Structure 1
Amino acid sequence: MKYKILVIEDDDDIREMLQNYFKKDGYEVVLAEDGVQGVNCARDEKPDIILLDVMMPAMDGYEALSEIRKFSDVPVIMLTAKGEQMDKVFGFNKGCDDYVVKPFDLIELSLRIKAVLRRGSVHSLSSEIIYKDLVLNENEFTLYKDGEEIKLTKKEFDILSLLLKNQGKIFSTRNLYESVWNEEYLENDNSVLTHIRNLREKLDDTVKNSRYIKTIWGVGYKIEKDI
């Protein structure tokens, strides 16, 4: 299968570099020079993954991502010169799946892309999970709550799927991060916390009166077995 990558980047040199590298790596590459063009390409081209620059004129990467999330759950990796923790949290809150800081190594970026695509391919091998009023379908990458669809990002979907398939098991922050991101966990990384919080908001699930994701203080998270 030949995957399609959409590169949304206003820097001509970086855009050309990514196009040449990933074409040689066997991908189909679509290019967009700004956020507005990128949103239109995401809608029309239906890529398998998007590399999205943050700092762009007219419409920055965060705005573009918000627009894309209105019609697509395609995996998005943010490319940015910003490396502060809060910038990453902001990106994850907007719905990105990974965050790569410039200047980046092309081999590392390629590995991150393959990891995200590999996580997506797992869903085609899985089936439907029903828990209380939730119906999670890994074949279709959908989640319904009481009959209404809830849009999740790839990471949110993977976290919820992992917890649902291991009901009763407590996952530490490190366990969740290394299982979902397929990377070594670094202390003080708030990615898991951010995604759990986003999941709870979408599920209307509070910490004190949770019906789904339970916080085990000082230990981690779990979903109780549905008896």
Structure 2
Amino acid sequence: MKESILVMEDDLNIQELIVEFLRAEGYNVDFANDGLEGIQLFKQKEYNLVLLDIMMPNLDGYSVCKMIRKSSSIPIIFLTALDEESDQLKGFNLECDDYITKPFSFNLLIQRVKAVLRRGKYTTSGEVLTFDKLSLDLNTYSLNLEDNNIELTLKEFNILKTLIEKHPQVITREGLLDSIWGYDYYGDMRIVDAHIKNIRKKIKLPYIKTVKGIGYTLEKDTEAVE
């Protein structure tokens, strides 16, 4: 069964093209013209991905993302004309999975959608990765810390998975971009830093150490460097 995608876009011409391209690929697609309508749809049905404009009437994309993240780790891709670095970092700080600026290639959009959905498919091995008090279940994509389940986005989960798998190696930002994003990324590499910041905030333990000018590694019982 094909995945279901919710598109929130107030430009009707762009919305129509996005929906047309996605349906041509076999996806089930619902769409909304503003954030409020989109949130109502999101609460009514199960989706595998949300494509989200930022500048929308009634409720902007940033607010929609915040509302969704309160209850779900569903992949979210921002599609927006806001191309400043600060806008992109804000999006990633709100735990989006990707950020695409307009104008964009629809063929490239389809590939990015496929990449995000591919990363969302769970493994069936039942394997669990552990690091000190952290346990990552690769079957359910869940993080357990001292019997408490911690919600992570797919990118956050995969970043932590990579750090645990490669421990005690230092993983460069370029390496994380290549392995987690899965395609050539031409934006600011500080999107990795934004995701790391979110992970640190969630686990509340100083496991992730910044190696200045290089990247990140995991260490037990040490102070993490911002």
TM-score w.r.t. structure 2 length? Answer: 0.91
Taking the TM superposition and a 5 Å limit, the aligned residue runs for 1:54-65 are: 54-65=54-65
Contact 1:125 1:139 in 2 (8 A): yes
Counterpart CA distance in 1 for 2:122 and 2:167 is: 19
Counterpart CA distance in 1 for 2:185 and 2:19 is: 30
Query: Cα–Cα, structure 1 residues 165 and 117, in superposed 2: closer, same or farther, change >3 Å?
Result: same
Match of 1:109 in 2: 109
Q: Superposition RMSD on alpha carbons, in Å?
A: 1.9
Deviations 1:56-101 (A, max 9, x none): 1111000001001111111000010010111000000111100011
What secondary structure sits across from 2:140 in the alignment?
coil
Match status 1:192 vs 2:192: yes
**Counterpart code for 2:130:** I
Unaligned runs of 5+ residues in structure 1 are none
Contact 1:43 1:71 in 2 (8 A): no
Contact 1:128 1:138 in 2 (8 A): yes
Counterpart CA distance in 1 for 2:188 and 2:40 is: 37
Counterpart CA distance in 2 for 1:78 and 1:11 is: 14
Match of 1:36 in 2: 36
1:219 CA displacement? 2.5
Q: Residue 213 of structure 1: which of 204, 208, 211 is its match?
A: 208
Query: Cα–Cα, structure 1 residues 158 and 105, in superposed 2: closer, same or farther, change >3 Å?
Result: same
**Counterpart code for 1:150:** I
Counterpart CA distance in 2 for 1:179 and 1:15 is: 30
**Counterpart code for 1:167:** H
Contact 1:48 1:75 in 2 (8 A): yes
Counterpart CA distance in 2 for 1:19 and 1:185 is: 25
Counterpart CA distance in 1 for 2:159 and 2:130 is: 15
Deviations 1:91-112 (A, max 9, x none): 0011110001111110000000
Unaligned runs of 5+ residues in structure 2 are 222-226
Paired residues, what number?
Answer: 221
Deviations 1:149-190 (A, max 9, x none): 222122111100111122212111111111111123547421
